[in-house]
C-alpha cells in the first residue's frame, strides 16, 4: 500500500521523486523519505508525516544527483517514526532500499544478520532485506560471467524472502543504477529518453512519459540512464512489452475542485458514459463485451456465479447478485476475497468466478483469483487499471474506463462497478429467457443513467445543509432493502472511512432484530426508500424508529409520499429502472458522507489509517 518512486537519468532526481510522491500519497501518508546518490554517498532525508513535511526536510539537503529513490509509507511493521520511514540504509552504508509489502520471515533474517555483525535502526521488516542484500554483496565480490554484482546480490536475497514485495534499491558502488523487483506488489517502469522511472503506480510516471512496462511477479529490472533489462529470479531474460498509458496527467489533477473525492463524485456521469461506451449490441437489446473470452454457448453452460471482492467492490458484487438472480435467474454467491482462499469453498465445475478490484492489485482479491484458477475454475475480472496484475492473470474481463481514481474513498469506480454488474445481468439474461422488448427497455434505462446521476447531483446544496445538522452525531444507521441494502452498506462504509463516525448498514427489516436497541435521539438513521413492493414495509420500519425518537434522513424516489412527520429530512432522487436505481441512490450517500466530513474538519482524501490500494494481506 506504500508509494514507491525511483529515477535514473539526466535530470535532478529529487524533484522528480518528490513530484511522484505527492501523486502517490493516497497510497500511504504516515511518513515519507528519499535517497539520492551524490558526492560519493547515499544522502537520505526522511520524516514522519505527509510528503509536504519531507519537501521541507529535503530542501536542507541540496539534492543534485540524478539517481534516487523515494517512498511514502503506510505502516505495517513498527510505529510512525522517522526511524521507521523509508528508505532504509544497510548498516555498512552500501545500500538504500524502499519497499511495499510484508516480509513474513524478516525475524529469522534479522536474527541471522545480527549474528553476522549487522545492526538495525528501525522496527521494520524492510531493514532486514536491506542488510541481507549487503550481506550477499560482501559475501561474493566476484560474479560469474561478468554479471552485475549489485543485481545478483538483490536476486539472491529475494530468493530467501517469504511474503510480498515491490522494492527499489540503490548501491553506493553503482552510482547510476537502480535495481527494482516485485512479487504481489505492483511496479511499473516508465520508459523515457535516456531516463527511467520505476513506481508503484502510473500516476507518478505519466507527467514524464506515457510509455510503460508492467513488471510481473518474480521479475527484476536493472536500470541505468541508457538502458534497462528485465530478468526473473531464476536469471531468465525477459523480453519487455512496452504499453501506452491512455490517460494524461490532467486526469489526476484536482481541476478546480477542493478534493479528489468531490471531483470524482461529480465526474460520475462522464465515468458512466465511458464505462458503457461501445458495449451495447447494434439492435439495442443487450450488452456486449469484447474481452470475456467465453462464447454464448459456454455462458449458457454456467449454472452458478461466484463473485469475490473487498470493501466497496464487495458491495457492488451484492448488487450484481440481486440483478443477476432477478433478471437472469442464475444463482449467485458473493464472498469476501479475504475469506474465500482460506475456507475451501466447494465449487462445482459449472461455476464461473468473477473478481472485482478497481486497482487490479488488491492482494486478497488477487489471492482469491489465483486460488479459484488453481482449482480449475475460469475467472473473469472487472477492474479499472489496464496492465494490472489481476487484469493480466484473469482468463478474461472488463475494464471500467473511468480514469484514475485518487480519493481513498471509492466513488466513480464504485458506481461504474454497479453499472457493469447491471450490464452483466442483462448480458446473461438475454442469453436465457429475457425478451427482446424487455432487453431494449433495460438498455435504454442504462443509457439514461448518466443523466439521472446529473439530476441527483443537483441535490448537493440541500445535502450539504442537511450534513451540517447531523455532523455532530457519533453513530449512524443506514437501512435499505433488496438492491438498496448494499447501498446502505456502502453509505455506512463511506461515512466510517472518511468522517470516523461509527456507522452500520442493515436490511431495513432487520432493524427490529437487534439494531433498534441503538436508537436514541443521537443516532440518526438514513433510509433508502424506493417505490414498489417494499415501500410500505420500509415506512413501517421508519415509524418504529420515529416512535423511539430517532432522527431520520429519507432518500426517496420521486412519487413516494411519506406519512407526515416520519422523516426529519427528505432527499429526492429520480424514479428509474431497477437496474439503475442502486447507481442513482448511491449519489446522496456519497454526498452526505463528503459534506459531513467537511463539517467535522477531517481530511477527505487522506483518512487516517487508510490507503487507496490494499496490497498487503
Average pLDDT value for residue range 405-418? 93
Q: What is the largest CA-CA distance in the chain?
A: 85
Q: What span, in angstroms and rounded, lies between the C-alpha atoms of 425 and 445?
A: 13
pLDDT of residue 234: 93
- What is the band of 146 on the pLDDT scale with cuts at 50, 70, 90? low
Find out whether the peptide bond into 611 is cis, omega within 30 degrees of 0: no
| Domain 3-251, architecture per CATH | 4-Layer Sandwich (3.60)
Q: Is 454 exposed, middle or buried (0-12, 13-18, 19+ CB in 10 A)?
A: middle
DSSP bridge pairs for 44: 35
Q: What span, in angstroms and rounded, lies between the C-alpha atoms of 21 and 27?
A: 9
pLDDT of residue 577: 95
Q: Where are the alpha helices (DSSP H) in 500-580?
A: 535-546
Q: List the catalytic residues.
A: 2, 612
- What is the band of 547 on the pLDDT scale with cuts at 50, 70, 90? confident
- What is the band of 1 on the pLDDT scale with cuts at 50, 70, 90? low
Domain boundaries in the chain?
3-251, 254-447, 452-603
- What is the band of 617 on the pLDDT scale with cuts at 50, 70, 90? low
Q: Summarize pLDDT for 464-501 with one digit per residue, the tens.
A: 999 999 999 999 999 999 999 999 999 999 999 999 99
DSSP bridge pairs for 197: 7, 190
Q: Which fold has domain 254-447?
A: Rossmann fold (3.40.50)
pLDDT of residue 354: 95
Q: Summarize pLDDT for 302-341 with one digit per residue, the tens.
A: 989 999 999 999 999 999 999 999 999 999 999 999 999 8
pLDDT of residue 611: 62
Helix H or strand E segment including 312: helix 311-323
What's CA 176's distance to the chain center, in Å?
33
To the nearest whole number, what is the mean pLDDT of the chain? 91
Terminal alpha carbon distance of the chain: 10
- What is the band of 502 on the pLDDT scale with cuts at 50, 70, 90? very high
- What is the band of 515 on the pLDDT scale with cuts at 50, 70, 90? confident
How many CB atoms lie under 10 A from the CB of residue 457? 17
User: Which CATH code is given to the segment(s) 452-603?
Assistant: 3.40.50.10490
pLDDT of residue 56: 92
Tell me: pLDDT of 532 over 90: no
Residue 447: what are its φ and ψ, rounded to 5°? -65, -25
Percentage of the chain exceeding pLDDT 90? 70
> If you write DSSP's letter for every residue of 272-292 in order, what string do you get?
HHHHHTT-B-TTSSSB--SS-
Identical fold, 3-251 and 254-447: no
Q: What span, in angstroms and rounded, lies between the C-alpha atoms of 294 and 58?
A: 53
Tell me: pLDDT of 408 over 80: yes
- What is the band of 187 on the pLDDT scale with cuts at 50, 70, 90? very high
Helix H or strand E segment including 298: helix 296-301
> If you write DSSP's letter for every residue of 87-101 in order, what string do you get?
PEE-TTSSEEEEEES
Per the CB < 8 A criterion, the answer to whether 400 and 413 are in contact is yes
CA angle 526/530/536 to nearest 5° reads 90
Q: Summarize pLDDT for 355-388 with one digit per residue, the tens.
A: 999 988 888 999 999 999 988 899 999 999 888 8
Q: What span, in angstroms and rounded, lies between the C-alpha atoms of 527 and 531?
A: 13
pLDDT of residue 613: 60
How many CB atoms lie under 10 A from the CB of residue 61? 14
Between these two residues, 301 and 7, which has the higher pLDDT value? 7
Q: What span, in angstroms and rounded, lies between the C-alpha atoms of 593 and 499?
A: 7
Per the CB < 8 A criterion, the answer to whether 502 and 321 are in contact is no
Q: Summarize pLDDT for 22-76 with one digit per residue, the tens.
A: 988 877 778 999 999 998 999 999 999 989 999 999 999 989 999 999 999 877 8
Q: What would the 3-class secondary structure string for 107-152 be?
A: HHHHHHHHHCCCCCCCCCCHHHHHHHHHHHHHHCCCCHHHCCHHHH
Question: Coil, strand, or helix at residue 263?
Answer: helix
* C-alpha dist (Å) from residue 387 to 264, 276, 361: 22, 20, 10
Amino acid at each position: 500500500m506504500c508509494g514507491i518512486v525511483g529515477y535514473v537519468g539526466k535530470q535532478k532526481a529529487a524533484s522528480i521523486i518528490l513530484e511522484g510522491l505527492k501523486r502517490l500519497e493516497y497510497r500511504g501518508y504516515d511518513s515519507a523519505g528519499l535517497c539520492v546518490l551524490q558526492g560519493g554517498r547515499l544522502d537520505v532525508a526522511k520524516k514522519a508525516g505527509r510528503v509536504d513535511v519531507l519537501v521541507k526536510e529535503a530542501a536542507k539537503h541540496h539534492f543534485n544527483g540524478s539517481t534516487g529513490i523515494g517512498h511514502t509509507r503506510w505502516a505495517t511493521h513498527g510505529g510512525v517514526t522517522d526511524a521507521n520511514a523509508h528508505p532504509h540504509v544497510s548498516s555498512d552504508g552500501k545500500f538504500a532500499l524502499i519497499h511495499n509489502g510484508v516480509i513474513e520471515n524478516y525475524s529469522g533474517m534479522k536474527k541471522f544478520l545480527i549474528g553476522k555483525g549487522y545492526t538495525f535502526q528501525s522496527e521494520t521488516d524492510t531493514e532486514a532485506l536491506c542488510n541481507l542484500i549487503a550481506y550477499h554483496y560482501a559475501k561474493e565480490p566476484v560474479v560469474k560471467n561478468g554479471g552485475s554484482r549489485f543485481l545478483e546480490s538483490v536476486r539472491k536475497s529475494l530468493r530467501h524472502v517469504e511474503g510480498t514485495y515491490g522494492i527499489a534499491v540503490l548501491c553506493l558502488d553503482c552510482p547510476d543504477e537502480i535495481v527494482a523487483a516485485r512479487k504481489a506488489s505492483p511496479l511499473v517502469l516508465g520508459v523515457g529518453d535516456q531516463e527511467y522511472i520505476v513506481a508503484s503506480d502510473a500516476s507518478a510516471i505519466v507527467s514524464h512519459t506515457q510509455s510503460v512496462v508492467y513488471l510481473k511477479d518474480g521479475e527484476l529490472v536493472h536500470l541505468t540512464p541508457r538502458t534497462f533489462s528485465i530478468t526473473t529470479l531464476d536469471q531468465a531474460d525477459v523480453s519487455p512489452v512496452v504499453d501506452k498509458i491512455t490517460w494524461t496527467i490532467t486526469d489526476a489533477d484536482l481541476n478546480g475542485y477542493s478534493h479528489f473525492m468531490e471531483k470524482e463524485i461529480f465526474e460520475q456521469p462522464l465515468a458512466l458514459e465511458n464505462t458503457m461506451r461501445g458495449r451495447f449490441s447494434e439492435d439495442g437489446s443487450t450488452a456486449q463485451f469484447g474481452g470475456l473470452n467465453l462464447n454464448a454457448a459456454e455462458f449458457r453452460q454456467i449454472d452458478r456465479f461466484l463473485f469475490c471482492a473487498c470493501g466497496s467492490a464487495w458491495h457492488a458484487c451484492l448488487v450484481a447478485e440481486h440483478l443477476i438472480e432477478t433478471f437472469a435467474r442464475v444463482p449467485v454467491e458473493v464472498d469476501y476475497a479475504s475469506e474465500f482462499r482460506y475456507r475451501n469453498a466447494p465449487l462445482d465445475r459449472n461455476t464461473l468466478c468473477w473478481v472485482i478490484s478497481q486497482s487490479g492489485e488488491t492482494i486478497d482479491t488477487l489471492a482469491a483469483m489465483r486460488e479459484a484458477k488453481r482449482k480449475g475454475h475460469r475467472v473473469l475480472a472487472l477492474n479499472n487499471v489496464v496492465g494490472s496484475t489481476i487484469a493480466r492473470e484473469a482468463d478474461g474481463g472488463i475494464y471500467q474506463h473511468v480514469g484514475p481514481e485518487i480519493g481513498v474513498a471509492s466513488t466513480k469506480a464504485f458506481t461504474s462497478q454497479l453499472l457493469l454488474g447491471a450490464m452483466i445481468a442483462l448480458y446473461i439474461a438475454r442469453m436465457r429467457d429475457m425478451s427482446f422488448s424487455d432487453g431494449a427497455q433495460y438498455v435504454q434505462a442504462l443509457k439514461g443513467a448518466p443523466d439521472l446521476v446529473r439530476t441527483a447531483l443537483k441535490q448537493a446544496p440541500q445535502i450539504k445543509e442537511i450534513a451540517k445538522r447531523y455532523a455532530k452525531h457519533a453513530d449512524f444507521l443506514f437501512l435499505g432493502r433488496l438492491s438498496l441494502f448494499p447501498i446502505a452498506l456502502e453509505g455506512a462504509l463511506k461515512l466510517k472511512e472518511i468522517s470516523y463516525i461509527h456507522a452500520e448498514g442493515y436490511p431495513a427489516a432487520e432493524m427490529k432484530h437487534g439494531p433498534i436497541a441503538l436508537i436514541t435521539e443521537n443516532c440518526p438513521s438514513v433510509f433508502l426508500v424506493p417505490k414498489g413492493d417494499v415501500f410500505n414495509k420500509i415506512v413501517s420500519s421508519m415509524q418504529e424508529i420515529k416512535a423511539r425518537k430517532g432522527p431520520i434522513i429519507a432518500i426517496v424516489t420521486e412519487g413516494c409520499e411519506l406519512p407526515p412527520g416520519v422523516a426529519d429530512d427528505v432527499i429526492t432522487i429520480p424514479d428509474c429502472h431497477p437496474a439503475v436505481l442502486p447507481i442513482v441512490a448511491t449519489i446522496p450517500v456519497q454526498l452526505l458522507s463528503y459534506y459531513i466530513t467537511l463539517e467535522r474538519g477531517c481530511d477527505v482524501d487522506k483518512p487516517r489509517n487508510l490507503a487507496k490500494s490494499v496490497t498487503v494481506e
